[in-house]
Amino acid sequence: MTTLLTGGVKSGKSSRALALAGDFPPGERFFLATATAFDDEMAERIRRHREERAGSFITIEEPIAIDSALRPSMIVDCIPMWLNNLFFQDREREWESILERFMAALPRDIVIVSNETGMGVIPADPMTRRYGLTLGLINARLAAAVDRVELLVAGLPLRIK
């Protein structure tokens, strides 16, 4: 089943993704990690996430070309970090073409993790507003393309679709 998990920061999305991956068919399971260690805190966060899934998944680290990194039985974590990478590598214009190819190639069993960033304050600067708007568009397109959508709130999944 194709699934999109969304919600706020630290709402339990990654843990829920790992739990849903338990329903993948027997065989190899893949984890597409989009994060890059741009500071010490992020490096530590990446290390902790690697430990959580150690031995259970084959990890593919791909910050940009998520469309070409897809495999069967996969978790993609996370779309906001992928978009962040595009913005900060001055490749913002590529998001639509990469996303189109990504959605066209979705495997039957995939859990995609995203964030709801537009539920809080309006950002003060143009780039952050553009980022939030773009992520909202991406989430809407992904939600339309998948079988199931869950919103995570305080660690609890709420089925949307």
Catalytic residue among 49, 50, 101, 148: 49
Q: In this predicted model, what pLDDT tens digit does every residue of 86-102 receive, in sequence order?
A: 999 999 999 999 999 99
Q: How far apart, in whole angstroms, are the C-alpha atoms of residue 80 and residue 33?
A: 11
Integer CA distances (angstroms), 117 to 13, 81, 109, in order: 14, 12, 26
| pLDDT tens digits along 45-85 | 888 888 878 788 999 999 999 999 999 999 999 999 999 99
Catalytic: 61?
no
The tokens describing 31, both together, are 């984890």
Average of per-residue pLDDT across 144-160: 97
Query: Measured between alpha carbons, how far is 70 from 68 in angstroms, rounded to an integer?
Result: 6
Residue extents of the structural domains in the chain: 2-159
CATH architecture for the domain at 2-159: 3-Layer(aba) Sandwich (3.40)
Encode pLDDT of 104-138 as tens digits.
Answer: 999 999 999 999 987 777 888 999 999 999 999 99
DSSP 8-class letter at 122: P
CA dist 112 and 70 (Å) reads 11
Q: Confirm if 50 and 85 have CB atoms less than 8 A apart.
A: no
Report the predicted TM-score, pTM, of the whole model to 2 decimal places: 0.94
